[in-house]
Amino acid sequence: FILGNLYTSGIFLGLEEIRYSNMLHYLPAYLTLILSLIFVWVFKLGVTGAITASLISAMTAFVVATRHLKREFEIIIPAPREAIWSVGRLGVVYAISHMLLQLNYKADVLMLQKMRPAAEVGFYSIGVSITEQLWLIPFTIGLVLLSRTANDTDNTGAAQRTALLLRIGVMLGVAGSIVLWLLAPLLVPLVFGKPYIASVPIIQAILPGIVIFIIFRLLESHLAGMGKPYLAIWALVPSLLLNIGLNLWLIPRYGAIGSAWATNISYASATVVYVAIYLRTMKTTLWELFIPGRQDIEKARRIWKERKKKR
């Protein structure tokens, strides 16, 4: 049922029904929490109760989603071979791209675990998990881009919309990073305790890479929505190799801070390569992509009105 929810969530995303797509992420979590309290706390069923709560939650979300789909589409079982082959072939490419992305995220932590004390790894992991919260808004924007681009035949309009959302996402990321850089010395001891104050320099060191990578994530969402996830591989493979090489060199010398800078450099390299790929693919310029124009406010209002109508 969990796998089915992932599939149906993707269908809703492709249909630009983002509300239902999000529902398949949040509904099981809320139901699991409520049912776990009932089965584990009230009926004292322990692990069995927790598993039952998870199963019922996933099943409920799947039934709700499929009933909604049946109202608009005929569900054919088994699916045509041509459709299976087409989706499967593209899905493999998406999977490879996603795997490389996750390796870029986790390579630093994995290498720190082998080369530094456990306490330092813990400080680094906390720092990374905090700074990555800056990706939440760009990730949401990326979902909208992926959904809209998959249904958009106007490449010029799509590129202009992406440029606008990119500028908004980067500005939000920069603003958030400045606030986090200033407040980290106060927030970390308050939330995690004074022993974790060592995470503060790591948070401050890794912020540039986190902000720069917002550009990659938003542009990648656009081209992935166009059915071109393979383009990300050209940026992620060299970035991963650079990440590993820099970590091998910097961790023994500078510890967790060195790993943070290795991450910054690898994220920046992936972003630079992908920006070049995006400009060539969409036949646009750096100026059009990053420099705000007079029509930005008008475009933002138009997009906002369109979103309100769909709600």
What is the pLDDT averaged over residues 41-52?
Answer: 85
**What sign does the dihedral 236-241-244-247 (CA atoms) show?**
negative
Distance from C-alpha of 299 to C-alpha of 161, rounded to nearest angstrom: 8
pLDDT beyond 90 at 42: no
pLDDT at position 249: 96
What is the pLDDT averaged over residues 233-252?
Answer: 96
Cα–Cα separations (whole angstroms), residue 4 to 9, 35, 58, 114, 240: 8, 21, 9, 37, 31
pLDDT at position 66: 83
pLDDT digits (tens, 9 = 90+) for 120-136: 999 999 999 999 888 88
The 10 Å CB-count burial string (b at 16+, else e) for 71-100 is: eeeeeeeeeeeeeeeeeeeeeebbebbeeb
pLDDT beyond 80 at 26: no
pLDDT band for position 212 (cuts 50, 70, 90): very high
Q: Where are the domains of the chain?
A: 2-72, 89-310
pLDDT at position 198: 94
pLDDT at position 299: 64
pLDDT at position 68: 77
pLDDT at position 154: 66
**What sign does the dihedral 227-230-231-236 (CA atoms) show?**
positive
Q: Which residue has the higher pLDDT, 272 or 7?
A: 272
pLDDT at position 146: 64
pLDDT at position 113: 93
pLDDT beyond 80 at 250: yes
- Cα dihedral 37, 43, 46, 52, rounded to 10, equals -70
pLDDT band for position 165 (cuts 50, 70, 90): confident
pLDDT at position 210: 94
pLDDT at position 64: 83
What is the pLDDT averaged over residues 147-163?
Answer: 70
Q: Percentage of residues in the chain with pLDDT exceeding 90?
A: 40
pLDDT band for position 193 (cuts 50, 70, 90): confident
Q: Percentage of residues in the chain with pLDDT exceeding 70?
A: 81
pLDDT at position 90: 74
Residues in CB range of 297: below 8 A, 6 or more apart: none
Q: Which residue has the higher pLDDT, 39 or 234?
A: 234
pLDDT beyond 90 at 155: no
Q: What is the pTM of this model?
A: 0.78
What is the pLDDT averaged over residues 33-60?
Answer: 87
What is the pLDDT averaged over residues 47-59?
Answer: 88
**What sign does the dihedral 226-172-270-244 (CA atoms) show?**
negative
Q: Which of 53-62, 201-210, 301-310 has the lowest mean pLDDT?
A: 301-310
pLDDT at position 180: 95
Q: Which residue has the higher pLDDT, 310 or 102?
A: 102
pLDDT beyond 60 at 150: no
pLDDT at position 153: 62
